Amino acid sequence: MSELMLDGNAAAGTLQEIFAAEMTTVVETCDNCGTAAEIGTLHLYKSAGLTLRCPTCEAVLIKIVSSGTRTWLDLHGTRTMEFHA
């Protein structure tokens, strides 16, 4: 590996800082329609896990499934997430 390419462990500190934020105020952009909205305004559906949908087009943005000590996070429908310091 070079100075410009490291493994994912090098991002651990930054990721910890980001995801320790107040998540309801994070602005998420829908990859389907481009709507930017705070996560707290998304539509939540509960089933075997949690599914958050865009309030404009109802596309699935975030899926969360927890089982014991494991959690799976799928951000496939999310274009970007904007965190405020």
**Domains in the chain, number:** 1
Return the pLDDT at 4: 78
Give the pTM. 0.84
53 part of a folded domain:
yes
In-domain check, residue 38:
yes
Condensed to tens digits (0 to 9), the pLDDT of residues 33-45 reads 999 999 999 999 9
Q: Which phi and psi angles does 33 have, rounded to 5°?
A: -115, -10
Q: Which amino acid is at 22?
A: E
Q: For residues 64 and 80, is the Cβ–Cβ distance under 8 A? A: no
pLDDT tens figures, 2-50: 677 888 788 788 778 778 888 999 999 999 999 999 999 999 999 889 9
Tokens of 56: 């404009």
Q: Please list, in sequence order, all residues whose beta carbon lies within 8 angstroms of the beta carbon of residue 44, skipping any fewer than 6 positions away.
A: 50, 51, 52, 53
In a domain, 12, yes or no: no
Per-residue confidence (pLDDT) for residue 2, from 0 to 100: 66
Which of 15, 38, 29 shows the shortest CA–CA distance to 79?
29
> Does 4 fall in a domain?
no
Beta bridge partners of 74: 63
Asked whether residue 17 is assigned to any structural domain, the reply reads no
